[in-house]
Structure 1
Amino acid sequence: MKKLILTGVIAVASLLTTANAQIQKGNWLVGSSLVTSNFGLNTGGGYNIGIQPKGAYFIEDNVAIGGYVNLGISKVTNGSPTRFDYAVGGLGRYYLSPGEKGVDNLLNHGRWFLEGNVGIGGSSVENGNSTTGLDFGAGPGYSYFITPNIGLEGIVKYNGVAGFGSEGLTSTISFNVGFSIYIPTSKAREVANDVSK
């Protein structure tokens, strides 16, 4: 019985420290958000699919910088023109520490974060309308660590494109869900060495 209790205490302690270990200086974050996806079930219904692969490096504890790519395709109805959305740029994340002023974590093995991005993006529609310009966004999110190295993430984000084409400023608020893999630098070096052999 004592061994069972001791094992339980160790397991809980490792879960509580997981969120801190993965967001330390020198670690990597690689992931993707499923921006939107819906499919019309009616006859002639449309679709909207988008993904956002991203990667970042922790330059300090709780602070990561990196890059992102947005890719999306949508069609309002079966007969409407297809729209292709795209963006590429830099992003930054700041993870809030437990105990910071006004911060309470929902779960002990997860972390709140703030994410912002700036880049170049736009859209192109089959009928010839297109725009390209400054792509930007910001919002809060939460990463719940389902394993020591994998986080299930949700983020509410304001997204905008200040375009120079047929459209001016366009903006949306999105709720994104995705996964991120947190890789310690030592593990990344092992993988790089294995690949180079």
Structure 2
Amino acid sequence: MKKMIFGAMIAAVGLFSTASAQIQEGNWMVGGNLMGANFGLNKGSGYDFSIQPKGAYFIKDNVALGGYVDLGFSGAKDAPTTFVYNVGALGRYYLSPGEQGVDNLLNHGRWFFEANLGVGGTSISKGGSSSNGLNFGFGPGYSYFITPNIGLEGLLKYDANAGFGNGGYTNRLIFGLGFQIYLPSGQAKRIANEAR
């Protein structure tokens, strides 16, 4: 019985430390968010789909810098199709447990803030409006580590394009669900060498 209790305590400490170990300096984060998907089944219903692959490198503990690509489209039968595209740099800051009075909901996760800056636009087919220019966004998120190297995430983000064209300034509030894979730099190098 004592061995079981001691083993459970070691496992709990190990699982908590994995959330900290994966966001340390020198590690990589690769994955993406599925911003939304909606495929209507009724007559005249439309579709809406968006993905956002991203990757980042931890320049120091809890701070990652990298890039993102955002691609999405929506429409309906006999209606214009809207295409959204963005590419740029992103930054993330992960809150430490207890930092600024913020406690983790679960022992295996971390709150974070994400911001992005790049170029992008929105284009609507069949003579619709278009906007191209500066893309920026920011918002909070939570990453729950289901394994030592994989985090499931939720992200609430304000996203905007300030640009040129007849669409001008466009903005939206998005809720994304996705996952990230966290790799120590040694493991990332090994995977890159095997891919060659």
Q: Structure 1-normalised TM-score? A: 0.96
Aligned residues: 195
Aligned mates of 2:192, 2:155 — CA distance in 1: 31
Q: Which residue of 1 aligns with 2:9?
A: 9
Q: Secondary structure at the match of 2:160?
A: strand
Q: Which amino acid aligns with 1:188?
A: A
Q: Which amino acid aligns with 1:39?
A: F
Aligned mates of 2:95, 2:130 — CA distance in 1: 38
Pairwise CA distance, 1:193: 2.8
Q: Which residue of 2 aligns with 1:49?
A: 49
Pairwise CA distance, 1:3: 2.2
Moved more, 17-26 or 125-134: 125-134
Pairwise CA distance, 1:109: 1.0
Mapping 1:33-182, distance limit 5 Å: 33-75=33-75, 77-128=76-127, 129-182=129-182
Pairwise CA distance, 1:2: 2.3
Q: Secondary structure at the match of 2:101?
A: coil
Deviations 1:72-121 (A, max 9, x none): 0100x311111111010000000001121221111111000000000000
Aligned mates of 1:121, 1:175 — CA distance in 2: 19
Q: Which amino acid aligns with 1:31?
A: G
> Does the CA contact (< 8 Å) of 2:131 and 2:169 recur in 1?
no
Deviations 1:12-58 (A, max 9, x none): 11111111000000000001100111112211210100000000000
Aligned mates of 2:61, 2:189 — CA distance in 1: 20
Aligned mates of 1:174, 1:86 — CA distance in 2: 14
CA RMSD of aligned residues (A): 1.0
Q: Which amino acid aligns with 1:21?
A: A
Q: Secondary structure at the match of 2:189?
A: helix
> Does the CA contact (< 8 Å) of 2:142 and 2:154 recur in 1?
yes
> Does the CA contact (< 8 Å) of 2:28 and 2:185 recur in 1?
yes
Q: Secondary structure at the match of 2:99?
A: coil
Q: Which residue of 1 aligns with 2:188?
A: 188
- In structure 2, runs of 5+ residues without a counterpart are none
- In structure 1, runs of 5+ residues without a counterpart are none
Q: Once superposed, which parts of structure 1, at least 4 consecutive aligned residues long, lie more than 4 Å away? A: none
Pairwise CA distance, 1:194: 2.4
Q: Structure 2-normalised TM-score? A: 0.96
Q: Which amino acid aligns with 2:62?
A: N
